[in-house]
């Protein structure tokens, strides 16, 4: 049984490999056109017209290379990706961008190379199938009136029916076995060659990632600094000042107690009132730093509390969220809070859903409503605030809000 399945799987792999090789072959004429156009434009890029056309030709070549990547990725079973420079700006800027982008030259090299390797590899692949087809046709060659009236196979003369009956299955089996190794190997060779040239090298990818992280780290530090300054100011101008005034009132009341008890009582009452205000203020500051419900109940409890507090019915689900870094939890809490405030204020929705899930070191928040949609990011500060907060954590924010709804806000926060 196992052997049969193994044979079938090998056979299927060989067929798939042939498919990839043929797809590669199909690309060859396109590659020819792309290369010819590129060379022509490159040579003529000394002229203004050439400079104008160049980015378009590069775009075409990017598309062709993209096809090549798809073919290779389909065989390798994992994506072959590249990062291109964005083509923008004036004519000169655009030309400079495409010529300066290393991927332009990698694409061109691949296209030129593929014009050679594509047909060779496809021909080798098809040769295997031709050899396989040759086996059953052996009797015809032998039987047909050939001069020697014999067909030689590796020095072995096939010149009688018994010999044919032995030779044909042997030949077919040998070719099929060899083919089942050779065909996938050919497809792999082509795919690896493609990946070598067309995938952005790990080194470049890492460098880009470092640049990105440096940027978000700076933003995070700025945001953190601003937050600390805000808390310091709130405490200094608010709670601390109030406590000083309370202490002063109590001090005066203490001295007055014997001489003027009524005045002392008034001062004490004022002091008490002031402590209440101070407590309210401290509570607001604490809530702004790290919501107590988050400390008490973690993200699931805090999200449930936010949902319960929203004026419209909210179905909240939280899955896979164990304890996360406190900063990420707080950010997630504020994002959901802000999103639900927006839903309640602007969407005219009847219901909303909140879905929070964590997997593979990524916390995903999704807040949707069935409201009127058409959310304008530039109108309020809410969404901009969410974007800034999320960006500081190297996360991503995506808003989908077509007119007529529904509106869905998706936020991803790395939490590893």
Partner 1 sequence: MRVVIVEDNVLLAEGLALLLRTEGHLVAATVDTADGFLAAVEKHRPDIAVVDVRLPPTFRDEGVRAAIEVRRRHPRQPILVLSQYVEQTYATELLAGGGGGIGYLLKDRVSRISEFVDALARVAAGGTAMDPEVISQLLTRRRADHPVESLSPRENEVLGLMAEGRSNGDIAALLTITERAVHKHVGNIFMKLGLPPSDSGHRRVLAVLSYLSTV
Q: Quick check: helix, strand or coil at residue 86?
A: coil
> What's the closest the beta carbon of residue 250 comes to partner 1, in angstroms?
13
> What's the closest the beta carbon of residue 369 comes to partner 1, in angstroms?
13
Give the interface segment with partner 1, choosing from 43-51, 162-170, 310-318, 351-359 (CB under 8 A).
Answer: 310-318
The reply on whether position 296 binds partner 1 by CB under 8 A is yes
The reply on whether position 297 binds partner 1 by CB under 8 A is yes
Residue number with CB closer to partner 1 (233 or 287): 287
> What's the closest the beta carbon of residue 343 comes to partner 1, in angstroms?
11
- Token pair, residue 101, equals 């982008």
**389 in Cβ contact with 331 (< 8 Å):** yes
> CA–CA separation, 174 vs 153, rounded Å?
12
Pick from 287, 374, 385, 398: which binds partner 1 (CB under 8 A)?
A: 287
Pick from 115, 304, 362, 391: which binds partner 1 (CB under 8 A)?
A: 304
Residue number with CB closer to partner 1 (122 or 305): 305
> What's the closest the beta carbon of residue 301 comes to partner 1, in angstroms?
7
> What's the closest the beta carbon of residue 3 comes to partner 1, in angstroms?
60
- Give the ranges where 44-145 is alpha helix by DSSP (H): 48-76, 91-100, 102-134, 138-143
The reply on whether position 308 binds partner 1 by CB under 8 A is yes
> What's the closest the beta carbon of residue 261 comes to partner 1, in angstroms?
18
Pattern 241-280, binding to partner 1, x per CB under 8 A? Answer: -------------------------------x--xx--xx
Q: What 8-state DSSP symbol labels residue 239?
A: I
> CA–CA separation, 113 vs 59, rounded Å?
19
> What's the closest the beta carbon of residue 205 comes to partner 1, in angstroms?
42
Q: Quick check: helix, strand or coil at residue 83?
A: coil
Residue number with CB closer to partner 1 (113 or 301): 301
Give the interface segment with partner 1, choosing from 7-15, 309-317, 318-326, 353-361 (CB under 8 A).
Answer: 309-317
> What's the closest the beta carbon of residue 217 comes to partner 1, in angstroms?
31
Pick from 293, 327, 391, 399: which binds partner 1 (CB under 8 A)?
A: 293
Burial class (CB in 10 A: 0-12, 13-18, 19+), 347: buried
> CA–CA separation, 102 vs 335, rounded Å?
39
Residue number with CB closer to partner 1 (44 or 275): 275
The count of residues in the chain is 416
> CA–CA separation, 384 vs 402, rounded Å?
18
Q: 369 - beta bridge partners?
A: 352, 407
Pick from 74, 301, 406, 414: which binds partner 1 (CB under 8 A)?
A: 301
> What's the closest the beta carbon of residue 371 comes to partner 1, in angstroms?
12
Find the binding residues for partner 1 in span 327-366 (CB under 8 A): 344
Q: Quick check: helix, strand or coil at residue 354?
A: strand
| Longest CA span, the chain | 142
Residue number with CB closer to partner 1 (122 or 330): 330
Q: Quick check: helix, strand or coil at residue 415?
A: coil
> CA–CA separation, 84 vs 87, rounded Å?
9
Residue number with CB closer to partner 1 (233 or 272): 272
Q: From residue 405, how far is each of 116, 291, 339, 378 by CA, in Å?
A: 52, 31, 15, 18
Backbone torsion region of residue 260, taken as left when φ is above 0, otherwise alpha when ψ lies between -120 and 50, otherwise beta: beta
Q: 152 - beta bridge partners?
A: 157
Number of Cβ atoms within 10 Å of the Cβ of 147: 5
The reply on whether position 286 binds partner 1 by CB under 8 A is yes
**415 in Cβ contact with 358 (< 8 Å):** yes
Q: Quick check: helix, strand or coil at residue 100?
A: helix
Residue number with CB closer to partner 1 (93 or 326): 326
Pick from 112, 289, 312, 399: which binds partner 1 (CB under 8 A)?
A: 312
- Token pair, residue 348, equals 């005219």
Residue number with CB closer to partner 1 (59 or 272): 272
Number of residues that bind partner 1 (CB under 8 A): 22
Residues at the contact surface with partner 1, assessed by CB under 8 A? 272, 275-276, 279-280, 283, 286-287, 292-293, 295-297, 301, 304-305, 308-312, 344
């Amino acid at each position: 049984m196992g052997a049969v399945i193994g044979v079938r799987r090998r056979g299927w792999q060989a067929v798939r490999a042939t498919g990839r090789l043929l797809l590669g072959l199909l690309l060859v004429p396109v590659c020819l056109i792309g290369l010819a156009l590129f060379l022509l434009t490159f040579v003529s890029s000394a002229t203004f017209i050439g400079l104008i056309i160049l980015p378009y030709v590069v775009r075409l070549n990017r598309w062709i290379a993209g096809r090549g990547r798809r073919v290779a990725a389909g065989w390798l079973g994992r994506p072959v990706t590249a990062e291109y420079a964005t083509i923008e700006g004036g004519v000169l800027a655009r030309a400079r961008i495409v010529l300066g982008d290393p991927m332009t030259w990698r694409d061109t090299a691949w296209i030129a190379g593929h014009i050679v390797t594509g047909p060779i590899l496809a021909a080798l692949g098809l040769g295997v199938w031709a050899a396989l087809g040759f086996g059953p046709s052996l009797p015809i060659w032998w039987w047909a009136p050939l001069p020697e009236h014999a067909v030689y196979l590796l020095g072995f003369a096939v010149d009688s029916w018994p010999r044919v009956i032995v030779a044909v299955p042997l030949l077919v089996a040998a070719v099929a076995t060899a083919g089942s190794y050779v065909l996938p190997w050919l497809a792999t060779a082509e795919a690896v060659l493609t990946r070598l040239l067309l995938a952005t090298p790990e080194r470049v990818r890492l460098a880009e990632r470092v640049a990105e992280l440096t940027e978000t780290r700076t933003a995070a530090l700025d945001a953190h600094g601003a937050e600390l300054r805000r808390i310091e100011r709130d405490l200094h101008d608010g709670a601390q000042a109030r406590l000083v005034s309370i202490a002063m009132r109590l001090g005066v009341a203490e001295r007055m107690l014997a001489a003027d008890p009524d005045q002392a009582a008034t001062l004490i009452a004022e002091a008490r009132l002031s402590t209440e205000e101070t407590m309210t203020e401290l509570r607001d500051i604490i809530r702004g730093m790290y919501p107590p419900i988050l400390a008490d109940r973690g993200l699931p409890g805090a999200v449930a509390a936010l949902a319960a507090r929203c004026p419209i019915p909210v179905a909240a689900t939280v899955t896979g969220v164990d304890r996360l870094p406190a900063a990420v939890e707080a950010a997630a809490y504020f994002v959901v809070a802000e999103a639900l405030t927006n839903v309640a204020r602007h969407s005219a929705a009847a219901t909303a859903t909140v879905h929070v899930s964590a997997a593979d070191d990524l916390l995903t928040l999704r807040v949707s409503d069935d409201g009127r949609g058409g959310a304008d990011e530039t109108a309020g500060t809410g969404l901009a605030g969410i974007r800034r907060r999320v960006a500081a954590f190297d996360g991503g924010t995506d808003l989908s809000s077509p007119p007529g709804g529904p509106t869905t806000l998706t936020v991803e926060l790395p939490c590893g």
